[in-house]
Amino acid sequence: MAPLRVLCIHGYRQNGSSFREKTGALRKLLKKQVELVYMSAPHSVQQASSEAPEKENGSGPGPGGDEDPRGWWFSDVQARSFSAQQQCEESLGIEESVSFVREALKAQGPFDGILGFSQGAAFVAMLCSLQEQKLEPEFNFRFAILVAGFPSACKEHQKFYNTSLQIPSLHVFGLEDRVIPDNMSRELLPSFQDPQVLTHPGGHFVPAASAHRQTYQDFLKRFQ
């Protein structure tokens, strides 16, 4: 049985290769079932001491964040920065990111599913909405996995949450997450019909302990 191909969308201040490193345990856990393919966001992020990087190391913060930090959009148009809690009228960069995904699908697709982490998971919810509104003919994901996702606080993004999405979804979040608290992740659940939930006792990372294997496998089994 061929493994399911899953496009992986990293968090803010990460990139495709750093996210690949940080999800090594997940690849190992699901290696018989999925092939994870990584891409980087189009926008470079300037290092600012006031912003907290989306740390996603089970072993605690690494030295100084990722090289070549990237993002899918900025909530502060002037400063070209992003905070999940920042209320804003308009954002910067989302159209380029959608177009980047479209090109990745043409070059590397097809994909069975899509997985996102943190800002990447929020972006995945938007991509699923575009797919269901039939606005992106290239998009044909059969499932979505959203780790530490959240609804965007930007007013221009509210159009992505107008209808409840039918795509099967697994929502994963940590009860000790200090970057995206679990209540923010729960706010995304009503945007999906029949969302499945996997909680873990840890923080801001993609969980891949043996205790989580069954939930991932049961979810993925429906698409094999």
**Is 118 considered catalytic here?**
yes
Determine contact, residues 69/15, Cβ cutoff 8 Å: yes
What's at 178, amino acid-wise?
A: R
In angstroms, the CA 21 to CA 106 distance is 25
Give me the DSSP letters along 80-93.
TB--TT--BS--BS
Q: Indicate the DSSP class of residue 53.
A: P
- What does the block give as tokens for 23? 């999800």
**Is 129 considered catalytic here?**
no
In angstroms, the CA 16 to CA 19 distance is 5
Which of 43, 200, 204, 212 is an active site residue? Answer: 204
Which of 177, 191, 200, 212 is an active site residue? Answer: 177
In angstroms, the CA 182 to CA 45 distance is 25
**Is 66 considered catalytic here?**
no
In angstroms, the CA 111 to CA 143 distance is 10
Q: Which residues are CB-contacts of 145 (< 8 A; sequence separation ≥ 6)?
A: 6, 113, 114, 115, 116, 169, 170, 172, 219
Which of 40, 75, 91, 118 is an active site residue? Answer: 118
- What does the block give as tokens for 66? 């990722």
Question: Active-site positions?
Answer: 118, 177, 204
